[in-house]
Amino acid sequence: MPAQSRSALFQKLPSTDELLQNPDLRALAARDAHTSVADAIRAVLARLRQEIANDRLDEKSLDIALANLPTAIERQLRQSLSYSLRPVINATGVILHTNLGRAPLSTAALDHIRQTALGYSNLEFNLETGERGQRDIHIDRLFQKLFEDHVGTTAPGYPAQQSANPVATGVFPVQADDSSGRSGISTIVVNNNAAAVLLSLNSLAEGGEVIVSRGELVEIGGSFRIPDVMSKSQAALREVGTTNRTRLADYERAITDRTRLLLRVHRSNFAITGFTEQPTLAELAALARRRNLPLVEDLGSGALFDLRSIGIAAESSVFDSLRAGVDLVTYSGDKLLGGPQAGLITGRGDLVARLRSNSLFRALRVDKLTYAALEITLLAYVKGDHASIPILRMMHVSKDEIVTRAQALISQVGSAANSRNLKLELKDGESVIGGGAAPTAVLPTCLIALTHAGLSADQLCARLRRSDPPIIARVEEGRVLLDLRTVFPAQEAKLASELASLSEN
Ligand SMILES: *Cc1c(COP(=O)(O)O)cnc(C)c1O
């Protein structure tokens, strides 16, 4: 288009001030913030200018667009004032999906958060003495109880608790120190597991060396790389062994007077198979004790239940690590534990005390909402009420139950749909635990495979994402796959009606 006629089109665009005088838009400005309306006007006008500049509008189509301006501005305004963070339906079958917010919380957790958040709480206030208290005790007491139930007092490095003498603040002892100078088990909470690793390394190894196997120098994703965290903690990384084989003697040889601790890292999302070797945790713990060094383990997912109960042998629990003699375990709150985003550090009381007195701890601590959600989650473990934790419930659902639900969904879609654009078939598959659990941690499931006469798998996926709430599926071999394991039963009717509407056009 000649520059002249383009500039004629530009001149037809009204100014922001002119538009603000439009009666429809004035009504909007009276209701919503004036500046938001002005922003929406500017955004819509900018889009039109761009279209003109790219020769995508002629005079006639510009006139139509101008006639529709108030509607376009109102839509823009609604979009900019709506929530950006929205609930979605997770039909991927990945239970701990980091991009979808990992562990969903129970309604009981939400109630406790609500009670705690709506008013004041005893977050750091001792109700017995009327003095300042510690926020850690809310979690610490519960973990101590779990430790007694699952590990007992037989683990090396954890002398007996004074559990027969519960202090007045609660059912469980708050903190027990024994006379040997080593104290019992203690837990503190920070913002996430990355922070937990950083705090542990910085508190125990600043200026010294940390020995890690080359097979464990992993990147977890989202830019968490062990060597980077190590350098931020001001500790020097001392790599030992090779990618596939590291022996106890490799650790032993690397120990010098600069060594501050031995670190074991869960490999999370990848596996080394074939010609491999790695000392057991118990062997490492014995070496650490012999050389008077702490053994710290970044366990990542941190299960508080036995995954063998759902047929997964590859993931050990926090208790397994403590039983093996690990001095400090770090793990996430929102992975296999099934709670809110947090990083937990559990282990020898004297080491935890050093972490607590580090000023970094103050910078990484969590708020009352996280404590409320974490407290109710740990309480569920104490009570053995695993079914109240949503991700544990999802993991325990049998394949047969998923088949039944999938069949019911298909017949619901079938009876609502008029035409047969959409084909739904059942297919065997696997749900994925995710969240840094071993890549082999999968559960048998039944998938609904979708194919659409007029849409490619990617287009179909995009259509599902545009529904309200958005439906997130996975694409494999040209088909869209839905796994009901991660769909809440209450969301199934919505899922069925979306599929029925896709079937019709
Ligand atoms: C997930 C994971 C982390 C990071 O935990 P966040 O809670 O996401 O910060 C660190 N280490 C391991 C081994 C992990 O699996």
Give 350's contacts (C-beta < 8 A, 6+ positions apart). Answer: 181, 182, 183
Q: How far apart are CA 148 and CA 382, in angstroms?
A: 10
Q: How far apart are CA 187 and CA 302, in angstroms?
A: 13
Tell me the pLDDT band of 251, cut-offs 50, 70 and 90.
Answer: very high
pLDDT tens-digit profile of 68-82?
999 999 989 888 888
Q: What is the pLDDT of residue 484?
A: 98
Q: Determine the average pLDDT of the residues in 98-120.
A: 96
Q: Determine the average pLDDT of the residues in 394-404.
A: 97
Q: What is the pLDDT of residue 419?
A: 57
Q: What is the pLDDT of residue 182?
A: 44
Q: What is the pLDDT of residue 28?
A: 82
For residues 487 and 272, which has the higher predicted lDDT (pLDDT)? 487
Q: Which residues of 124-135 are buried (b: 16+ CB within 10 A; e: fewer)?
A: eeeeeeeeebeb
Which atom of ligand 1 approaches the CA of 342 most closely?
7
Q: What is the pLDDT of residue 455?
A: 93
How far, in Å, from the CA of 196 to the mean position of ligand 1? 9
Percent of the chain with pLDDT over 90: 71
How far, in Å, from the CA of 102 to the mean position of ligand 1? 12
User: CB 47: neighbour CB atoms within 10 A?
Assistant: 13
| Residue 94, amino acid | V
Q: What is the pLDDT of residue 502?
A: 87
- Hey, CA dihedral for 205, 206, 209, 210, is it positive or negative? positive
For residues 51 and 222, which has the higher predicted lDDT (pLDDT)? 51
Q: What is the pLDDT of residue 276?
A: 86
Tell me the pLDDT band of 180, cut-offs 50, 70 and 90.
Answer: very low
Q: What is the pLDDT of residue 421?
A: 86
Q: Whose CA is nearest to atom 12 of ligand 1?
A: 300
Q: Which two tokens stand for residue 370?
A: 């996280």
Give 131's contacts (C-beta < 8 A, 6+ positions apart). Answer: 125
Tell me the pLDDT band of 274, cut-offs 50, 70 and 90.
Answer: confident
Q: Write out the DSSP string of 294-323.
A: -EEEEEET-BSS-GGGGT--S--BHHHHHH
Q: Which residue has the tokens 């009327």?
A: 130
Which atom of ligand 1 approaches the CA of 341 most closely?
7
Which atom of ligand 1 approaches the CA of 98 most closely?
8
Q: Name the least confident of 338-347, 389-398, 429-438.
A: 429-438
How far, in Å, from the CA of 352 to the mean position of ligand 1? 19
Quote the DSSP letter at residue 225: B
Is it the case that residue 426 has pLDDT exceeding 90? Answer: yes
Is it the case that residue 151 has pLDDT exceeding 70? Answer: yes
How far, in Å, from the CA of 224 to the mean position of ligand 1? 8
How far, in Å, from the CA of 199 to the mean position of ligand 1? 13
Q: Whose CA is nearest to atom 1 of ligand 1?
A: 300
Specify burial of residue 418 (Cβ count, 10 A radius: 0-12, 13-18, 19+): exposed
- Hey, CA dihedral for 159, 184, 300, 213, is it positive or negative? negative
Q: Whose CA is nearest to atom 15 of ligand 1?
A: 300
How far, in Å, from the CA of 92 to the mean position of ligand 1? 21
Is it the case that residue 163 has pLDDT exceeding 50? Answer: no
- Hey, CA dihedral for 183, 189, 193, 195, is it positive or negative? negative
Q: Whose CA is nearest to atom 3 of ligand 1?
A: 300
Residues in the chain: 505
Tell me the pLDDT band of 505, cut-offs 50, 70 and 90.
Answer: low
How far, in Å, from the CA of 465 to the mean position of ligand 1? 28
pLDDT tens-digit profile of 363-388?
999 999 999 999 999 999 999 999 99
Q: Name the least confident of 237-251, 395-409, 418-432, 469-483.
A: 418-432
Among the ranges 20-34, 61-75, 159-173, which has the highest mean pLDDT value? 61-75
CA distances from 226 to 297, 323, 440 (A): 12, 25, 22
Is it the case that residue 31 has pLDDT exceeding 80? Answer: no
Q: How far apart are CA 318 and CA 182, in angstroms?
A: 20
**Which residues surround ligand 1 with Cβ inside 6 Å?**
192-194, 220, 224, 265-266, 268, 298, 300-301, 332, 343, 436
Which atom of ligand 1 approaches the CA of 196 most closely?
9
Q: What is the pLDDT of residue 166?
A: 36
Q: How far apart are CA 211 and CA 294, in angstroms?
A: 11
Which atom of ligand 1 approaches the CA of 435 most closely?
1
Is it the case that residue 160 has pLDDT exceeding 60? Answer: no
For residues 93 and 152, which has the higher predicted lDDT (pLDDT)? 93
Residue 262 parent element (H or E):
strand 259-265
Counting ligand 1 atoms within 8 A of each CB, the residue from 226, 233, 264, 298 with the most, and so the one to mutate, is 298
Q: What is the pLDDT of residue 477?
A: 87
Counting ligand 1 atoms within 8 A of each CB, the residue from 201, 224, 263, 344 with the most, and so the one to mutate, is 224
How far, in Å, from the CA of 353 to the mean position of ligand 1? 22
Is it the case that residue 131 has pLDDT exceeding 50? Answer: yes
Percent of the chain with pLDDT over 70: 92
User: CB 48: neighbour CB atoms within 10 A?
Assistant: 20
- Hey, CA dihedral for 388, 390, 393, 395, is it positive or negative? negative
Is it the case that residue 431 has pLDDT exceeding 90? Answer: yes
Q: Which two tokens stand for residue 243?
A: 């990618």
Which atom of ligand 1 approaches the CA of 334 most closely?
7
Q: Which two tokens stand for residue 121?
A: 């709480």
Q: How far apart are CA 346 and CA 157, in angstroms?
A: 13
Tell me the pLDDT band of 313, cut-offs 50, 70 and 90.
Answer: confident
Residues β-bridged to residue 483:
447
pLDDT, averaged across the chain: 90
Q: Name the least confident of 111-115, 152-156, 257-261, 440-444.
A: 152-156
| Residue 412, amino acid | Q
Q: Whose CA is nearest to atom 6 of ligand 1?
A: 193
Max Cα–Cα distance, the chain, nearest Å: 91
Q: Which two tokens stand for residue 443?
A: 């559960």
Q: What is the pLDDT of residue 35?
A: 85
Q: How far apart are CA 4 and CA 19, in angstroms?
A: 25
Q: Whose CA is nearest to atom 11 of ligand 1?
A: 300
Counting ligand 1 atoms within 8 A of each CB, the residue from 189, 212, 268, 297 with the most, and so the one to mutate, is 268
Is it the case that residue 102 has pLDDT exceeding 70? Answer: yes
Specify burial of residue 460 (Cβ count, 10 A radius: 0-12, 13-18, 19+): buried
Q: Which residue has the tokens 């796959």?
A: 481
Q: Write out the DSSP string of 422-441.
A: EEEEEEEEEEEEETTS-TT-
Q: Whose CA is nearest to atom 5 of ligand 1?
A: 193
Radius of gyration of the chain from its Cα atoms, rounded to whole angstroms? 28
Cis, bond preceding 340 (omega within 30 deg of 0): no
Q: What is the pLDDT of residue 417?
A: 57
Is it the case that residue 300 has pLDDT exceeding 80? Answer: yes
Which atom of ligand 1 approaches the CA of 265 most closely?
13
